[in-house]
Amino acid sequence: AQTVTQSQPEMSVQEAETVTLSCTYDTSESDYYLFWYKQPPSRQMILVIRQEAYKQQNATENRFSVNFQKAAKSFSLKISDSQLGDAAMYFCAYNGEYGNKLVFGAGTILRVKS
Amino acid sequence: EAGVAQSPRYKIIEKRQSVAFWCNPISGHATLYWYQQILGQGPKLLIQFQNNGVVDDSQLPKDRFSAERLKGVDSTLKIQPAKLEDSAVYLCASSLELLAVQFFGPGTRLTVL
């Protein structure tokens, strides 16, 4: 079974600075999808970024980018120019090639200081 | 485009009572999911529907939980009888098709006393 591990329960960043959230996963599949979701206190889960494992190029969405290391099974999220609105719980998630069952990590709370 | 709708947003019940949650997915989305998110944990899939058929319910506690998706549109999740450990946020999500990106609703926070 696939597992997703987020080893940082909580992270803090100063406004306008850069922060990196870590995620590792375990799978025997060769093709799959990886996601970062953001969950603010309102509980609405919002997709931040998506990476397809067969694509070598790291995904980027405005201030959000990933460092995808397939061999190391690592998928970290970098947030540049952090804003107060980035404060939330961030979940890393895995979805296999043949199913659509998202497996989530335990989450990382991101606090942004002004 | 309207997002995934869920109701109620909050529910407090006594143990052994029953409760039902409702979800209306994004229009045209064939796949619907129910997740359970216990405080401090990531969401866990309970059941997945493709149109009105069940694709995966391997983690649904079938002795007390049931779900249906009549006519392949909206869905209800029921718990009967509730236990203290069922206290959690119940999230509904939908996607256009299998392997497509999932969009989540705001969730229902259930407290079982």
Q: What is the pLDDT of residue A12?
A: 97
Q: Residue B40: which domain range?
A: 5-98
Do B107 and B6 form a contact (C-beta atoms < 8 A)? Answer: yes
The domain limits of chain A are: 3-113
Alpha carbons B52 and B49: distance in angstroms, whole number: 6
Ranges of residues in chain A with a pLDDT under 70 are: 99-100
Report the gap between the CA of A74 and the closest CA in chain B (Å).
18
B92 assigned to some structural domain: yes
CB < 8 Å to A50, chain B: 101
Q: What is the pLDDT of residue A2?
A: 84
Q: What is the pLDDT of residue A100?
A: 65
Average pLDDT over residues B61-87: 94
Q: What is the dihedral of CA B81, B84, B88, B92, to 10 degrees?
A: -10
Average pLDDT over residues B78-84: 97
Q: What is the pLDDT of residue A91?
A: 97
The CATH number of whichever domain residue B24 belongs to comes to 2.60.40.10
CB < 8 Å to A47, chain B: 101-103
Number of domains in chain B: 1
Beta strand ranges found along chain B (DSSP E): 5-7, 10-13, 19-24, 31-37, 44-50, 53-56, 65-68, 75-79, 88-95, 103-104, 108-112
Alpha carbons A107 and B9: distance in angstroms, whole number: 22
Q: Which of A43, A46, A50 to mutate to test the interface with B (most CBs of B within 10 A)?
A: A43
Please enumerate in sequence order all residues whose Cβ is within 8 A of that of B102, keeping only pairs 6 or more positions apart, or say none.
Answer: A47, A100, A102, B31, B33, B93, B94, B95
Q: For A3-113, CATH number?
A: 2.60.40.10
